[in-house]
Amino acid sequence: MSTLKTRASQFAASIDWQENLATIEPIIEEAEADGVDLLVLPEGVMARFIDQKERIRELAQPLDGPFVTGVTALTAGKAVTVVVGVHERSDTDRPFNTLVVLRDGAIIEVYRKLHLYDAFNALESDNVRPADVIPPLVEINGFQVGLMTCYDVRFPELARLLTLNGADLLVLPAAWVKGPLKEHHWKTLVTARALDNTAYLVASGECGDANIGHSLIVDPLGVPLAQAGEAPGSITATLSLERLEEARRRLPVLQNYRFTVEATPRALAPSSAS
């Protein structure tokens, strides 16, 4: 049966994309040297905007800009597949919050965030444009991989839709903001989405002054395989399709469910961010 060596690496991004590119380079090199098949980096690490959210608009780059081009070049000639979060310039004044999937010097897939973080007194939608396209699946080593970003994890229908579309593994780059109960929410939701869908889940959380870190790899029965704390670093686990099939035999929720999930985005309601 196929296996997939996965790694989630967390660090604190700065406002300088060149500094962040320099941080990412040894992470990719080490992952390749360690035989990692899938490396998941946090959300939005092209540049971090803690107290200057409006700067997202001016500092966003296109996918052929220097940051994504630089990370893409770092994967050239390598077997590792890399998922990294960026702010991608759009045809409006608000960029997309975008995941880019890279392999061997090329972009192989893109996902633009559906659910923007308009909660807990934050308004991501002030400066980011919501997308309305369902995330694609990416094949890696015989695993079908579904893409989600941060706040998406609070919406179980997205994880279920990806799983019904064939996902064996869900990846979740994030920049989970610190606050009361937030670590509890993070660990509960990440574990629940894996268990809800009998799917593996690899969650990479940015660390630093504003975000909790706590990257997590969970198996299809909700068992944590690897966990990080609040400091920069990496966690690694090898996933098995045999374990996935066993979990789905023992807990056949994907056969027992009674309600379908429609892939039709609804109009956004105004948010109070409370």
Which residues are catalytically annotated?
43, 113, 150
* Structure-block tokens of residue 141: 């080593």
Cβ atoms of 227 and 216 within 8 Å: the answer is yes
Closest CA to 96 of 117, 118, 74, 111: 111
* Whole-angstrom distance, CA of residue 257 vs CA of residue 266: 23
* Whole-angstrom distance, CA of residue 248 vs CA of residue 242: 10
DSSP letter string, 17-58: HHHHHHHHHHHHHHHHHTT-SEEE--TTTT---SS-TTHHHH
- Look at residue 157 and give its three-state secondary structure: helix
Paired strand residues for 203: 172, 216
